[in-house]
Amino acid sequence: MIVAGNWKMNKNATETTELIGAISNGMGDTSTKVMVAPPFVNLAAAADSAKNTNIIVAAQNMHFAESGAFTGEVSASMLLHLGIDHVILGHSERRALFGEWDALLAKKADTALDKNMTVIFCFGEELHDRKNDIHFDVVKNQLSEGLFHLEANNWQNIILAYEPVWAIGTGETASPEQAQEMHAFIRKTLIERYDPDLADGVSILYGGSVKPGNARDIFSKPDVDGGLIGGASLNADDFLAIVQSA
């Protein structure tokens, strides 16, 4: 199981150090892989605080180019220099608020994988897609356009995060059954494109208003391999309760 916290644009460097300290103190020797993704500016502090713990520090985004005239952007090499080798790509806020699209995400994934980084690839339908009953098509399309150009061996470094946009930060969660239904569909889609062994080996996280009160039911579903947590990852007690539910 994997539980990853997406801190979005929250916490300064001091708070980052404190929160990582509290998570690490409360984690015990869980077998769950625990990850946190602070903003770029706090990654150095986070990497330092997470040293000698089992917490993996991830970035929330990166550029596909090695370096150059890309004001405000950060490269894979810069992340690796800090010891950060996990990166979230394609979060719905990057897609909706910052105009990121499938072909761009495919390029970013290529760069990350070339650099031997692990990608947490986010995707998921919007509410109108579900209402129009095209949510399976939308998800399949996001996967095909973003990742299905990859060779099978690349998938060792990919974690999928299914995040229905209507459930992100809204307090509305997909029911455990809705999550399971989509995760099973994602695995079937991976079998069609690749093979059953690959599909079986890929971790598929659910994201969208996971809280201490609903985590256990969602994580109990057979095709749910953990969660990507937004709001509830900003509080150590809540995040730890979710980690313990995995």
Active site residue 91: yes
x/- contact string, 220-239, with ligand PEP (CB under 6 A)? --------xxxxx-------
Nearest by Cα to 87 from 114, 65, 124, 60? 60
Alpha-carbon span 246 to 243, nearest angstrom: 5
Q: How far is the CB of 226 from ligand PEP (least distance, A)?
A: 12
Minimum distance of ligand PEP from residue 186's CB (angstroms): 16
Site stretch for ligand PEP (CB under 6 A), options 31-39, 71-79, 109-117, 204-212: 204-212
Among positions 1-30, residues that touch ligand PEP (CB under 6 A) are: 6
Alpha-carbon distance of 89 to 37, in angstroms, equals 11
- Residue number with the shortest CB distance to ligand PEP? 230
b/e code 160-175 from CB counts within 10 Å (16+ = b): bbbbbbbbbeeeebbe
Sign of the dihedral through C-alpha 212, 220, 207, 8: positive
CB–CB of 209/171 below 8 Å? yes
Please report how close the Cβ of residue 77 comes to ligand PEP at its closest, in angstroms. 26
- Least Cβ distance, residue 192 to ligand PEP (angstroms): 27
Smallest CA-to-CA distance from 117 within 163, 64, 49, 192 is with: 64
Q: Which of 207, 219, 224, 240 binds ligand PEP (CB under 6 A)?
A: 207
Instruction: Decide: is 124 part of the binding site for ligand PEP (CB under 6 A).
Output: no
80, 149, 169, 175: which one binds ligand PEP (CB under 6 A):
169
Q: Which is nearer to ligand PEP, 155 or 239 (CB)?
A: 239
The answer to whether the CB of 176 falls within 8 A of the CB of 218 is yes
- Rounded Cα–Cα distance for residues 58 and 78 (Å): 13
| Catalytic member of 86, 91, 135, 183 | 91
The answer to whether 120 and 143 have CB atoms below 8 angstroms apart is no
Answer for which of 210, 215, 224, 246 binds ligand PEP (CB under 6 A) is: 210
Name which of 36 and 75 has its Cβ closer to ligand PEP: 36
Asked if residues 218 and 183 have their Cβ atoms less than 8 Å apart, the reply is no
Shortest CA distance to 89 belongs to which of 114, 112, 113, 121? 121
Closer Cβ to ligand PEP, 53 or 235, answer by number: 235
Annotated catalytic, 183? no
List active site positions: 91, 163
Q: Which residues bind ligand PEP (CB under 6 A)?
A: 6, 163, 168-169, 207-210, 228-232
